[in-house]
Amino acid sequence: MNLSRRQFLKGGAATLGGVALLSSPMAYALRNSTKTEAPPETKLEQYDWEKHYYAFAVDTTKCIGCGKCVVACKLENKVPPDPEHTRTWVERYVITEEQEIFVDSPEAGMEGFVQPQMNLKYQGLAISESFFVPKLCNQCEKPPCVQVCPVAATYATKDGVILVDQKRCIGCRYCIQACPYGARYLVPDGDVTPNGYSRVADKCTWCYHRVVKGHPPACVEACPVGARVFGDMRDPQSPVREILRHSRVYTLKPSLGTKPKVFYIGLHFGVV
């Protein structure tokens, strides 16, 4: 078949126009098909996210390293049971008389720190101080993870929590690289998130499904010594506001400008 340039262009334009005309009802149908998805069971009508702005406090002078928070988090959020993939963990800092600093987090802290093999390497050391530091997502005001996501799959809610849209996440791991706190992980093959996705980024949500219903995050509920405190910055009576009023608090890696919303009481200068 011999086509002149003119015929080709005319034909092409007609085809494109036809496709456009035909596809508009198709597009409409497709759009509506996604619309008919069953609505989520609990509509949170009485919850107004503009009225809340959450923050978290960790009192490192109280933590006893029992690891109950890690266990509770894993159960509440169906986090993979292995220590490598975890939304929260407890670190142990051991500082010697020579100001040498050791940090470890055996089993992410979920088994506690009492098993003899966890303490072998510190035998015979002249320890000057030692303490536990629970870690979790800092839900930064300036989150680097949100900035780097190439598919807009991670975002900050208006009440101040960073969430991952795991339907959109392509598992590229940019956010995992970008987080200076190591708070994100990739859901391994064979494990699924509560939303039913695998091989996507996952992170602490401050138990978003609990806090919007007025319950504290599972780790806060589980802490037997009150080392983890959750609260609402918009509520002057909130325990977090009380802590910010009366305690000297610190954040992790403040020089990075991420503006974390997890405030630490009694944080040692050696903690990173």
Residues in 60-89 at the binding interface with other proteins, rule: CB under 8 A: 61-68, 72, 75-76
152-173 burial by CB neighbour count: b if 16+ within 10 A, else e? ebbebbebbbbbbbbeebeebe
Of 236 and 269, the one with the shorter C-beta distance to other proteins is 269
**Rounded-to-10 torsion of CA 95, 96, 100, 103:** -40
Per CB under 8 A, the segment of 8-16, 81-89, 183-191, 233-241 that binds other proteins is 8-16
Residue 255 CB, shortest distance to other proteins, in Å, is 27
Of 2 and 123, the one with the shorter C-beta distance to other proteins is 123
Among 1, 2, 4, 35, binds other proteins (CB under 8 A): 35
Of 99 and 255, the one with the shorter C-beta distance to other proteins is 99
Residue 96 CB, shortest distance to other proteins, in Å, is 12
* Cβ neighbours around 76 below 10 Å, total: 18
Under the binding rule (CB under 8 A), the answer on residue 218 touching other proteins is yes
Residue 117 CB, shortest distance to other proteins, in Å, is 14
One-character DSSP codes across 52-68: --EEEEEETTT-----H
Q: Are 202 and 185 in contact (CB under 8 A)?
A: yes
Q: Which amino acid is present at 167? A: K
Q: Which of residues 233-272 bind other proteins (CB under 8 A)?
A: none
Q: Which of residues 170-189 bind other proteins (CB under 8 A)?
A: none
Locus of tokens 């954040």: 251
Helices H / strands E in the chain, number of each: 8, 11
Among 7, 8, 11, 30, binds other proteins (CB under 8 A): 30
Q: Are 60 and 266 in contact (CB under 8 A)?
A: yes
Residue 77 CB, shortest distance to other proteins, in Å, is 8
Of 101 and 255, the one with the shorter C-beta distance to other proteins is 101
